[in-house]
Structure 1
Amino acid sequence: MRLTATARARTTTALVVTAVLAAAGLGACSGDDRPAGTVKVASTLGPGEGTLNLVTLPGAIESGGSDPRVDWVTPFQERTGCKVGWKVVKTPREMTNLMRDRDRRYDGVAAPPEVAGQLIADGQATPVNTGLVDGYKKLEPRLRALLRHDGKYYGVPYVWGSNLLMYDTRAVQPPASWAALFDPAQARRYSGRIIMRDSPLSIAEAALYLKGEDRKLKITDPYALTPRQLAAVARVLTAQRPHVKRYWELPADAVSAFAGGEAVLGQGWPYQVDVLSRASKPVQGAAPSEGVTGWMDAWMIGARVQHPNCMYQWLQWTASPDVQQQVAEWTGVAPANPQACSGDRLRSAFCNAYHVGDRAYLEKVIFAHTPARKCGGTGRDAGKDDCTDYAEWMKVWIESTKQ
């Protein structure tokens, strides 16, 4: 299967990851009043229950509705007898609220990092018995490690991506730092022609800039910021706002901004760079010297899972190389299973552009995690409640970019 860049650009949306799964196919899975987080990790698999209910952001599941050639649901249903239903939500916040709702019984969720961490902390996800997921060990080790919490694994990696500096080579010299976007003097050069990803997690890129610019702030993890550090980032974002042409939500919006000449510099993914370069547009991506940030979407099992056997079969299915190939090509993200680049599945240029199987690159990516009050750290600083949580990040993002 080979799809056009235009087709992918029309339907792509930020996917989801990070994760959690619950439960055996026994009596422990019944009962609507079961408290969240009480389902035991499955030890064996039984026959499928015939139904599977999922929650996703747009683009995470395709059944031929967008393009008849793009369908990894129908073959799954035919093979397993598990009929798949899914609720598509518009925002990570809506996704989190649905999975928290005690009156809802979703089996699984394709969770981005800002959702996954909250579900784990709230007991709305159950650890996965990775031994029951065929092909699990073929997934990238770095990605699998991102889902480890208190010695347990809370999901199966689905897709991942990295955040780059994207620029028009005709108008912008190759940028070397996040300062190209966040330093006031540099941003002013391209005022009205800058685009930014519309997500509170974009705060991390500004934090990386400040990490080098103002060492007195003592920023270490850009996804774990104290109130003082977050306030400093807020000032950077507020100063940048007059120069931003668009805060993009859909990846295709960033493509159209560069293709139409509206933008010459901004945050982007390898996806947009790949699409535009294949369309002979003079656009390239650069890795900032302070570090490349990234994200991973993963399939997690909900705390009130009703169909655990079908859910485990779905985990196996979506981790397989052939399905990973379809998902990666259609959505424009890197597959979690590098075998998607083996044989005649994905073209080599795609795999190189997205750094599939490049473990040296993966080890350097600063992957997103849900901002939380506990800063982590080591020694006396371990677990201190002096950082800011995702709700505070969301408030700062809205105040700095939309008001």
Structure 2
Amino acid sequence: MKGKKLSAFSLLAVSVLLLSGCSSSDSAGVKIEVPDIPMHESMGEFEGEVNIVNWAGFVDPKWTDKFEADTGCIVKSRTAGTSDEMVTLMRTGQYDIVSASGDAALRLIVGGDVQPLNVELIPNFSDEIAAGMRNNIYDTVNGKPYGVPIGRGANLLQYNDDVTKGAPASWDVVWETNSPYKGKITAYDAPIYIADAAVYLKYHKPELGIQNPYALDQAQLDAAIALLKQQNTIIGEYWSDAVAQITSFAGGNTVVGTSWEILRKFAAKPNLKTTLPIEGSTGWYDSWLVSSKTKNVNCAYAWMDYTSTASVNGAIAMNFGMAPANTAFCATSAETQAHCDEFAAEDEAFWTKISPWTTPIETCVDGRKDVKCTSFQEWTNAWATIKG
């Protein structure tokens, strides 16, 4: 980040989120079966504590101390390493709120583990929240909001400019067997990466009819699997560890592959750059969700409102390395504006090219009703066959 030294704590935050998935899609017209859980009707007395499951870097004494002093709600935080862990912890009923990525969010909503939100009780969930972070399928289901946006990031094409001599225009350099960088290509090691193949196919093979990379029928999933198996023949390595990915690029073992802007900045090598190719890409969005079993609902609502203020939401974004949800943060100083510019926080045209991670479910989130879409379990099973 410009004007702010990246900390080891932030690197830990990056490392743990790499094991997760985040997601989104326009929810208009998509009907998903979810349990009928009532929302909180009005604020009452604060209960004295709030138990949070969160990604590293999302809860910090720099902003929790003031919240505790103002509300009397003592923050008890547990850092999770994966979306699966978040889902498991929330299902114990011991936690009030979670900073869920999209795949965890949709699972929790469909499973009845979180409650719809009364946004009138969250004044800072306002027009200052980026338009592209509202009303997405991972946290807004059947017209009901379940999540308060925290931040977002894109999966970009990172490249070694000393080798490529400019930004590749297309993702073909990581997918096609005639890539000049064969053997020095990296790809994200997770079933959700199937969506990246779907993004590429959507652009280059429109006859497949892919409208949403997370809504794949069996034929579309088969096409993505075939492309991924083709890519496997030219891959140098798959990555899920941030430090290993940075080391591989910095050492010259990798020339092109999927990355985040924050990882390029950690590498601190001027020859390592990122670009958004013509096909677009995938990305991740995170949101606060409240447990359906919470005993501290007033403290949970107060936490969501407090962390949605421009200053606190922006601090979380800078601590982790992502675009803040509350874009009013951007204009507060030269440093914050530089951060927002770096992560395209106010550039909605950029985000229209990003398909944020969404857990695949049998209900087609692209609105199709005449076919059954493939589930995340089917994607998980497929991923095991791709790497051989």
TM-score by length of 1: 0.84
**How far apart are the structure 1 equivalents of 2:7 and 2:152?**
21
Q: Is the 8 A contact 1:126 1:302 kept in 2?
A: yes
The match for 1:27 is: none
Q: Is the 8 A contact 1:9 1:252 kept in 2?
A: no
**How far apart are the structure 1 equivalents of 2:96 and 2:132?**
26
**How far apart are the structure 1 equivalents of 2:277 and 2:186?**
16
Deviations 1:139-197 (A, max 9, x none): 112211113221210110001011111101011242112222111221xx323322222
The match for 1:306 is: 295
The partner residue of 2:219 within 194, 211, 228 is 228
Q: Amino acid of the residue matched to residue 314 of structure 2?
A: Q
Q: 1:377–1:212: structure 2 CA closer, same or farther, 3 Å change rule?
A: closer
The partner residue of 2:69 within 78, 94, 103 is 78
Q: 1:377–1:198: structure 2 CA closer, same or farther, 3 Å change rule?
A: closer
Q: Does 1:168 align with 2:160?
A: yes
- Equivalent residue of 2:155, what SS? strand
The match for 1:120 is: 109
Q: Does 1:196 align with 2:196?
A: no
Deviations 1:12-34 (A, max 9, x none): 32278679xxxxxxxxxxxxxxx
Q: Is the 8 A contact 2:23 2:356 kept in 1?
A: no
The match for 1:153 is: 145
Q: Does 1:387 align with 2:348?
A: no
Q: Does 1:349 align with 2:334?
A: no
Q: 1:332–1:117: structure 2 CA closer, same or farther, 3 Å change rule?
A: same
**How far apart are the structure 2 equivalents of 1:324 and 1:394?**
33
**How far apart are the structure 2 equivalents of 1:289 and 1:262?**
25
The partner residue of 1:51 within 37, 49, 52 is 49
The match for 1:100 is: 91
- Equivalent residue of 1:222, what SS? coil
Q: 1:227–1:39: structure 2 CA closer, same or farther, 3 Å change rule?
A: closer
Q: Does 1:11 align with 2:2?
A: no
Deviations 1:94-152 (A, max 9, x none): 22233234xx3321111111111111112221111111112111211221111322121
- Equivalent residue of 2:352, what SS? helix
Runs of at least 5 residues in structure 2 that lack an aligned partner in the other structure? 25-33
- Equivalent residue of 1:145, what SS? coil
Q: Is the 8 A contact 1:17 1:298 kept in 2?
A: no
**How far apart are the structure 2 equivalents of 1:16 and 1:78?**
34
CA RMSD between the two structures: 2.5
The partner residue of 1:340 within 329, 345, 349 is 329
Deviations 1:36-69 (A, max 9, x none): 9565211211221111112223333234xxxxxx
Q: Is the 8 A contact 1:55 1:106 kept in 2?
A: yes
Q: Amino acid of the residue matched to residue 151 of structure 1?
A: G
Q: Is the 8 A contact 1:198 1:247 kept in 2?
A: yes
**How far apart are the structure 2 equivalents of 1:385 and 1:93?**
28
Q: Is the 8 A contact 1:16 1:298 kept in 2?
A: no
Q: 1:346–1:117: structure 2 CA closer, same or farther, 3 Å change rule?
A: farther
Deviations 1:68-101 (A, max 9, x none): xxx3223322222111223322221222233234
Q: Amino acid of the residue matched to residue 354 of structure 2?
A: V
| Runs ≥4 residues deviating over 4 A | 15-19, 36-39
Percent of residue pairs identical: 31
Q: Is the 8 A contact 1:18 1:110 kept in 2?
A: no
**1:219 CA displacement:** 1.6
Deviations 1:278-314 (A, max 9, x none): x342122111211232220000011111100110011
**1:8 CA displacement:** 5.7
The match for 1:24 is: none
Q: 1:39–1:388: structure 2 CA closer, same or farther, 3 Å change rule?
A: closer
**How far apart are the structure 2 equivalents of 1:309 and 1:286?**
43
**How far apart are the structure 1 equivalents of 2:91 and 2:334?**
38
Q: How many residues align?
A: 370
Q: Mean Cα displacement is larger for which, 232-241 or 248-257?
A: 248-257
- Equivalent residue of 2:169, what SS? coil
The partner residue of 2:172 within 176, 179, 192 is 179
The partner residue of 1:365 within 351, 354, 364 is 354
**How far apart are the structure 2 equivalents of 1:94 and 1:74?**
26
Q: 1:16–1:222: structure 2 CA closer, same or farther, 3 Å change rule?
A: closer
The partner residue of 2:201 within 210, 216, 220 is 210
**1:399 CA displacement:** 2.6
**How far apart are the structure 2 equivalents of 1:107 and 1:16?**
21
**1:5 CA displacement:** 2.8
Q: 1:358–1:156: structure 2 CA closer, same or farther, 3 Å change rule?
A: same
**How far apart are the structure 2 equivalents of 1:269 and 1:166?**
8
- Equivalent residue of 1:325, what SS? helix
